[in-house]
Structure 1
Amino acid sequence: MKVLALHGAGGSPSEWEKVVAELDGEHEIVPLPLEGPWEWESVLDRIEPHADGNPVVLGMSLGGMVAALWGRRHPECPAVIDIDGHGVPTQPRRHVDPDLAAIAGLREMFLAYGEPELQQAMEELDCFEVFRDVRCPMLLAVATKPMPGQLLFGSYQAGLARDLPTLPPNITVERFDDSHAVLATNPHLVAALVRDFLQAR
């Protein structure tokens, strides 16, 4: 099965190499670059030329958000796999009791990385609205552990605990025992998530 693989913010297609090795030819994994401009429909348009044969779309973080957008555009997609791409912690709506001062401080930290257009685009995207419009089978895999120094993790997780049960039945939610860095720290786990979900497709 052809699988388009989309990396996270600040990443590159090479980050999928270990997952490709783990899957060992079970699927045709095609890693693609994600680049600005960060208008979501134009991002999807740039993926379209690679989507012959109605592929599965797999994404990590930002890539998972784009994968969900793809699933919304393409209800005929055989499957979407979103690895921990469900919004950003600088979105107050993703928290149960948002600490606005802490969120503002985190936003300044993110902006210091030098991609303000991407930061704005991710903040303006309500992933849960997108998820509710997806009609194809979708796996949403959610990290249960924080990365070292990850801020607002507990508050954000509380928001996820509130919002995840509201998703439609075509979306399978699976929590995994690792952090948002799982693509780098545990490609074996990522490959297992992909393999297990696609076996039923």
Structure 2
Amino acid sequence: MNVYSSEIPLPKLGRHAGKSRRPANKNINKALRTAGALGIVAFAVFLVWQIPVAATWEAHVAAWWLNPLLEKGVTSHGPYYLVWIDPDRLIAFNVTSECSAVVLIAPLLVVGAFFILSQRVSWLRGLAGIVSMLVIVIVTNQARLGLIAWATQTWGISPGYEISHRLVGSLLGIAGFIASLIALILVSGLRRARTVKEEGGLP
């Protein structure tokens, strides 16, 4: 048996082989995150534009869950939810643009969009953080509307409405905003910006 040997040129495989696809994948990921962030900001703008519609829905939801809880029930009409404070006196509470949860949701959506754009959070956790924020803001604002209705029915316009709307309701709204921002940060798992330490210069 004869054995022959020959030198066949082989491609040189450096330590960076297989990394050529990384820049392309990184660009795709960046493009997707940019599109997602712009979509979230666009949704925030849409909500602000549709505040009257959102306020109407908030009034309907408040009337729905307050109806079995308050005396004589609660109904709604447009952006108003109506509560009996006396046997013959019906009060209509107007969910104005300033009272809508959208006022708090819109800026927090923009914050969430920046989180996703910064690439410091994963897609899944970023979206979960935004959903958690939405739930907290909506529930807190509904609790505020319910508190105002209950206090007014219990103690009348003064001091019930005055205290629950201007003092306690405002504090509850602020607490809800802070809690939703904390939830957005914690659930999203926001990471610090990573610093790359280079040794010996660029390879």
TM-score normalised by structure 2 residue count: 0.23
Greater helix share, structure number: 2
Greater strand share, structure number: 1
Q: Which has the higher contact order (CA 8 A, sep 6+)?
A: 1
Question: Quick check: which has more Rg, 1 or 2?
Answer: 2
